[in-house]
Structure 1
Amino acid sequence: MPKKLLIALGIIIIMIIFSGIVWWQKFLIKKPAEKLKIYHIGLLQMSSPVNENIKGFKMGMEELGYKEGVNIRYTYRNAEGDLKKLEQYAQELVSLKPDLIFVNTSPATAAIKKATEGTGIPVVFSMVADPVRAGFVASIKSSGNNLTGTSCAYIDIAPKRLALLKEINPAIKKVLIFYRPEDLSGGPATEEILKAAPGIGVEVVAVPISKKEDIKNYLDKLKPGEIDAIMDPADAMVNSALTEWGIEKAKELKVPLMMLGRLECEKGALACFGVDYVDLGKQSALIANQILRGIAPSDIPIEMPRKFFFAINLKTAKAIGLEIPERVLSKADLIIE
């Protein structure tokens, strides 16, 4: 082999080896590890009775690959029915500039909507009875802003809840309902209940309130025989107050109490019928995942609930001397014994 060819071949071999070393150093040895994205999610709720909705949201996020303490962290605030704290907590969460805020109930959504205006922070709401009627979004197909989420449809199912209460105890004639006229869920739901009451065969005693303590004061004065049942119309403040004071008062008066979620029933309410809090939270997580992947909230339609939940507490039924019809028990998703 000619000497010049050998030299040329040697040079080529050296160049290949040198290039391999450079590539090794650049792409394997010296390449920095990619930094793991840790998402920051703000969580805001009106009161503890809807805890399972937050739980469902976090469960859904984990199922989608967002592991708390690994690639996602949460900042949680609970106003416990206090509207002033709700506004304060909304401002606090916005000041932290999270990647997204998850909020449940209409009062909390109203506070977050106001606090996030102009910030660009995306919001996923849940447990909102009618987001269009409440003015949170422009339409079901497109919010036209930084919000999207899931509805609980509580205005639509309000008459059905009253009818179910009557079915639980056909002897019911007079039902007590507390509501805030300005509430974007309980107010319209109470209107629907009042419309449906004559056809169901009951009289509704609708008592307007402005704060939780109004409910306690009214309950303290109630005497046996004045009402036959109590029902939460789907007002977050009313729900909080009835959980705190109404459950025991209903047992004292020996009347049925119809609430919304599993937690209230486990605490002693006779019955609950409403959206499945956990499932709606998981459904909301699917929407949050779309936003974290780059889709704008206004491009994600508002979703209706996939599942409703009905529970009966037989311990409470026994305590108030009520026998629940078998046809009602057959409908229950949960029977507490």
Structure 2
Amino acid sequence: MKKRMKLLLLALGILFVGSSLFAKSYKMLIIDGQDAEPYKSARETMLKTLEKEGFKKGQNLEYDYFAIGNDVKKAEEVLNANLKNNYDVIFVNGTVPTIAAKNVGFNKAAYNFVFACVTDPVGIGVIKDFKSNPTANFTGVSYPVPVESRFKFIKQVFPKAKIFALIYADMPQSHSYKSWVEELLKTKEYKDLKVIFESVPLVTGDEGGRKMADETKKIIKKLDSSVDAFIIPNDQMGVQKFFAQAVFETATKPLVGLNLKDIMEEWGAIATIYPSHESMGEQAAGMIKKIFEGKSIKTIPAEQPKKSGFAFNLKLAKKFGINIPVQLLQLAGQNIVK
């Protein structure tokens, strides 16, 4: 009888502990730069990954979601209005919401900020580097394929091209990317290349990408006869289809893509080396999980995307007389439009 009683008490104890763990609820604030790519894929993958890890909306996870149209002031308003809600994690998805988070909550221990899709988190001052543990209350996953990797790829695909045009939106990540390219072009391996930079004013809101792309058309026409190829910018204009389509419709020169959709949805690019938006979401989810489990954000180093890939449009390559190296085609796998 005593033995049965002990077993019953043990079972009840296990059930109690298990229910207590399950009863623990977590709160998260999610702020996207826009409800568009690359933020959408990164956010959706982050949430799916958390669900696989046992953090399910409506059970032990609740979150509030905002898209701020790449407007720093709007992001600051969202943060100021909602930080009182005692979130376990604030997920800032994009450079603009991350800048706003820094302005509002940097080094405030009550807030844990995990970023994703940020072009230059070191440059905007939320982390020191990708090697050390954070010194403040920010960690996360950056966005771009390293500039040197991208230009190495460009030289492999376009060995005869020497002059490129890079038209960008006037926004923080664009300025960082421009400075990285300029530094790379000073090195021995890339000093034979020239990049002509032009910019258009940043237009925020859901129609911003389309409006900015329309502004680039006159610049594309002006530069077309002077360059060997165009490069999609690493910014909010570049991740949407409208700029690629503008180059395809306006220029007579080939286009280097930025993401997978540039190729697979035939937006107009010939070739791309792209960061995996899904990888960013998976990596960010791993960081959020650690914070939910009680680990200090200052023990979770920031990361760069762990996965990248290649993609090619062979129809356009043939049109422009470009022969894609066989080894790159093999690495692209199924990411080829024929």
TM-score bin (small chain): 0.7 to 0.9
Q: Report the counterpart of residue 125 of structure 1 in structure 2.
A: 115
- Aligned equivalent of 1:39, options 2, 26, 34: 26
Query: CA separation in 2, counterparts of 1:178 and 1:210?
Result: 11
Contact 2:270-2:312 at 8 Å conserved across structures: yes
Matches within 5 A, 1:46-57: 46-47=33-34, 48-50=36-38, 51-57=40-46
C-alpha displacement of 1:295 = 1.3
> Among 115, 126, 140, which residue is 1:136 paired with?
126
The one-letter amino acid paired with 2:271 is A
Q: 3-state SS of the aligned residue for 1:230?
A: strand
Q: How far off its partner does 1:124 sit?
A: 0.9
Over 3 Å counting, the alpha-carbon distance change for 1:70 and 1:219 in structure 2 is same
Q: Which amino acid aligns with 1:246?
A: F
Letter in 2 for 1:281: G
Q: Which residue of 1 aligns with 2:47?
A: 58
Distance 1:121 1:179, change over 3 A: same
| AA matched with 1:257 | L
1:266 has 2:256 as partner? no
TM-score (norm 2): 0.76
Alpha-carbon deviation of 1:210? 3.8
CA distance in 2: counterparts of 1:330 and 1:303, whole angstroms: 27
Q: Which amino acid aligns with 1:45?
A: D
Alignment correspondent of 1:13 = none
Residue equivalent to 1:248: 245
| AA of the residue aligned to 2:136 | N
Deviations 1:144-165 (A, max 9, x none): 22211223464xx213313322
CA pair 58-79 structure 1, distance change in 2 beyond 3 A = same
Instruction: Determine helix, strand or coil for the equivalent of 2:332.
Output: coil
How far residue 306 of structure 1 moved from its aligned partner, in angstroms, is 2.1
1:193 paired residue number: 181
SS of the equivalent of 1:301 reads coil
Letter aligned with residue 23 of structure 2: L
* Equivalent residue, structure 1, for 2:136: 145
Is 1:254–1:321's contact at 8 Å kept on the other side of the alignment? no
Which is greater in Rg? Answer: 1
* Mapped partners of 1:239, 1:85: distance in 2: 22
Structure 2 residue aligned with 1:173: 162
Q: How many Å separate the matches in 1 of 2:234 and 2:94?
A: 9
3-state secondary structure, aligned to 1:238: coil
What is the letter of the counterpart of residue 202 of structure 2?
Answer: K
Contact 2:156 2:325 in 1 (8 A): no
1:119/1:299 Cα in 2 relative to 1: closer, same or farther (>3 Å)? closer
SS in 2 for 1:75: strand
Q: In 2, Cα distance between the equivalents of 1:259 and 1:90?
A: 34
What pairs with 1:226-245 in structure 2 (closer than 5 Å)? 226-235=226-235, 237-240=236-239, 243-245=240-242
In the TM superposition, 1:1-337 aligns within 5 A as: 34=20, 36-47=23-34, 48-50=36-38, 51-94=40-83, 96-117=85-106, 118=108, 120-138=110-128, 140-152=131-143, 154=145, 157-179=146-168, 183=172, 185-197=173-185, 199-200=189-190, 201-212=192-203, 213=211, 216-223=214-221, 224-235=224-235, 237-240=236-239, 243-252=240-249, 253-267=251-265, 268=267, 269-314=269-314, 316-317=316-317, 321-327=320-326, 328-333=328-333, 334-337=335-338
Tell whether the 8 Å contact from 1:161 to 1:273 is kept in structure 2 after alignment: yes
Inter-partner Cα distance in structure 2 for 1:244 and 1:186:
17
Mapped partners of 2:315, 2:26: distance in 1: 44
Contact 1:270 1:312 in 2 (8 A): yes
Query: Is the partner of 1:42 in helix, strand or coil?
Result: strand
The residue type equivalent to 1:42 in the other structure is L
Query: Which residue identity does 1:217 align to in structure 2?
Result: E
**How far apart, in 2, do the equivalents of 1:77 and 1:258 lie?**
32
Q: Find the residue that maps to 2:242 and give its secondary structure.
A: helix
Amino acid at match of 1:278: E
Distance 1:58 1:171, change over 3 A: same
TM-score if structure 1 supplies the norm length? Answer: 0.76
Q: How many residue pairs align between the two structures? A: 307
Mark the CA change 1:192 to 1:119 in structure 2 (over 3 Å): closer, same or farther: closer
Query: What is the identity percentage for the equivalent residue pairs of Structure 1 and Structure 2?
Result: 23
Cα displacement (A) at 1:65: 1.3
